[in-house]
Amino acid sequence: MKMNSKIDMEKITFRNETPADYKAVENLTREAFWNVYKPGCDEHFVLHNFRTRSDFVPELDILMEEKGVLIGHVMFARSEIRLNNGGILPIMTFGPISIAPDFKRKGYGTVLLRHAMQKAKEMNCGALAITGNINFYGKSGFVVAKTKDVFYHADPDADYFLIKELIPGFLDQVKEASGGTFKEPDGYFIDSKQAEEFDSQFPPKEKLSLPGQIFG
């Protein structure tokens, strides 16, 4: 696995999150996503809720540290592709994947993602699905999912819905079933008022409407 040559991997360590890490990780997630996709963010609330869900994967609740300092985190969830022949194909999805602002756009996100993907493969996860930017995820082998006959429930033509086969040939089952549809686990759909109440527990931050945000 080729890593960014500017990152000293001897200084990087990975470990699973513990309850003692929760607040720091939620704050990291908040800092990583604040004003990125909308004024403020909800990703830290999504993470907070997911930890108690049955589809949360504790083994893939991973922290990345540099010389003992928390700089990244990712969580995974069990999900599925509903096949057109009526079958269900278990896969996983992930996110939020968070990198501390001072470490963004330096390759750390790719380092964390590839480490976590290898761990998922070791757990016999056949494929990963995600909505995201192909320019980032494509570097780690993700492709537009519709090219594999897997379609996003809310937008079957979506170029931002991506998939990565971890076990070679795993997605052949989708083609044999004449395609399939993916929808994120329910834990990703939240109540905005509850998210606001949760965010009030953190230090105040200014919400800004910025160019490039997806949601108003």
Domain ranges of the chain: 9-184
pLDDT, residue 99, reads: 98
According to CATH, the superfamily of the domain at 9-184 is Gcn5-related N-acetyltransferase (GNAT) (3.40.630.30)
pLDDT, residue 214, reads: 82
Could you tell me how far CA 137 lies from the centroid of its own chain?
11
Neighbours of 147 (CB within 10 A): 10
Which residues, at least 6 apart from 19, have a Cβ–Cβ distance to it below 8 Å?
none
> Would you state the structure tokens that stand for residue 151, as one six-digit string?
């379609």
> Would you state the structure tokens that stand for residue 154, as one six-digit string?
């809310």
How far apart (Å, rounded) are the C-alpha atoms in residues 212 and 35? 10
What is the mean predicted confidence (pLDDT) over 66-81?
97
Q: Tell me: the pLDDT tens digits for 159-191?
A: 999 999 999 999 999 999 999 999 999 999 999
